[in-house]
Amino acid sequence: MREQFYNYIQELQDRICAGLEAVDGKARFQEDLWERPEGGGGRTRVIENGSVFEKGGVNISAVHGKLPESMQAYLKVEDADFFACGLSLVIHPVNPMVPTTHANWRYFELYDNNGNITKSWFGGGQDLTPYYLFEEDARHFHQVCKTVCDKHSKEFYPTYKKRCDDYFWNTHRNEARGVGGLFFDYLTPTDDFSSQDWYNFVTEVGDSFLEAYVPIVNKRKDLEYTSEQRDWQEIRRGRYVEFNLVHDKGTLFGLRTNGRIESILMSLPSHVQWKYNHHPEPGSKEAQLIEVLEHPKEWI
């Protein structure tokens, strides 16, 4: 399974990068290959200063070795070897009318002293972070997610949509990071759902990413915007940074396992602002977004 999934994310990285380059029309992803001293490595690809995308990364990695003590405590396991691979992406657009997006699909194995698998699971999801709320965009993104989920179980979309709302919640701000999508973790094989079944589900979610995001980008990328709207975008990016550095499990896992720091912090935007005690004008489009972030809604 580890070989099967790693082959998949390599191909998916190629496909997503090609799709995003076609949308941008100017910038190209720059590739950076790296190795982890303790075992494994990755392929980081970053796009910057494009006509559509200000900064973005589509990264894959496959790392292995002895599980650090900090992660043993976090995962509630004893001394063990591990293998983890996944694809993680974050795309920050130039135009504030285009939402930021994030996605991740990953696979994890733990081994005993004889090299036998003791635990294995999948995780991941995809979500949308707009700066200005276009409800039809949120509905489109969620409909793509629901369509994929319903092929496998009618319970998946409401369950993983709710987990996404709960996970991407900035507790210190009491608001969501964005309008959500899907989030799932610890998808372990059972009598009813094998590891191959989970693989089929997770990879189909991965295959749906471009369908979920690119139509929104094409619809909004040429809309006019003001410098004040650009300021609002950068203020909201500050909340994005806060979530990634305070709450995000992937960031914490990378830091605790001596991950490559440039790849881990690739998710941070190039231009961002923090303004003291900033609040949007009541009744404004900015305030409309905050209302939804403070009270996540059902889009489907």
Q: How many residues are listed for the chain in this entry?
A: 300
Reply yes or no on whether 102 is catalytic: yes
**Candidate list 92, 102, 140, 142, residue with the active-site label:** 102
The C-alpha atoms of residue 31 and residue 21 are separated, in whole angstroms, by 13
Q: Among all chains, which residue has been given the structure tokens 């709302």?
A: 165
Enzyme catalytic residues: 102
